[in-house]
Structure formats: C-alpha cells, structure tokens
Amino acid sequence: GSIQLVMFNGLMTLISKISFTEDRDSVDNYGIGQMPTSYGNKNFVYGGSLEIQLDQLNEIQKSAPFGKILMIPPFSIKMILGISPDSGQPDGSAPANYKLNNCRFTKNEFNAKQNDSSIFVNLPFKFAGLVQG
C-alpha cells in the first residue's frame, strides 16, 4: 500500500513486487608475495525483476514492438515509497523516490499451475543508472 510504480507513462497497479541490485566487483591486486598490495574496482552492474500480474503483462505486450516485451526500447521505472496515508510518519517526512534509468527486459518466462487464483509472472530486467531523491 505504500509503493507506487510508474512505467510507460502510467501507474502500474498490478505489480506485486520489485527488486533491484547495484553491484560492483572489487578485486585484489598482487605484487611480490601472496598478500594483496592494492585493489581495483570494476564497473557497476545493475539488475532487477518485477513480479507482474498476467493481465498487466498482456497490456504491455499489446503495445510492444511485434508483441515482444524484449523489443521494447529502454524505459524508466519511477518508484515512490512511503505514500500510504496510514504509513505512520508523524514527523511529516517525505516519501523516498527512486528512478531506474534505461530499463530493458531480459527474459519473458511464464509459470502457472492449476487452481491459481491469479497469475503473476517474474520479469528480469537490466538497467543503467539509479537516481535517488
């Protein structure tokens, strides 16, 4: 109740979960001997996933090039956290905002079983930049 996601210029109401990671490898460098003498940082890598209801996914696919979500041009995901009127923020603090830039879906997989009352699909994605605030 306290998370909003905006994608494709609209509020996404049928997404039950979003997760994302910001990763960066840091490797040891060696000189003479077996102990590291320094370290080097590698590039940042960003990834995530959405858990989206099949009905919402079908709407996105209808407007995707050739009906393929993997062909959608890069897009942004805006998240607003802590917007519920019952969030219990007596100090009047503002909601947290995040923006994931240059998002693109990397896999379209489907899993369902008999007697599911609603079907949610996990959609992995990559992105290129995280802005907070």
> What does pTM read for this prediction?
0.79
| 8 Å CB contact between 102 and 128 | yes
Amino acid code (one letter) for 29: N
Task: Give the pair of three-digit tokens for residue 8.
Answer: 């494709």
Q: What pLDDT, on a 0 to 100 scale, did the predictor assign at position 93?
A: 63
Of 7-21, 29-43, 85-99, which gets the smallest average pLDDT?
A: 85-99
pLDDT at residue 11 greater than cutoff 90: no
What six digits make up the tokens of 73? Answer: 């041009």
Task: Report the C-alpha gap between 13 and 9 in whole angstroms.
Answer: 13
- Under the banding of pLDDT at 50, 70 and 90, the label for residue 35 is very high
Helix (H, G, I), strand (E, B) or coil at 84: coil
Q: Residue 86: what pLDDT?
A: 56
For residues 4-15, average pLDDT: 83
Q: Which of 8-22, 36-50, 111-125 has the highest mean pLDDT?
A: 36-50
Overall average pLDDT of the 22-27 stretch: 95
* Torsion sign, CA atoms 68, 71, 75, 78: positive
Whether 127 shows a pLDDT value over 90: the answer reads: yes
pLDDT for 85 beyond 70 = no
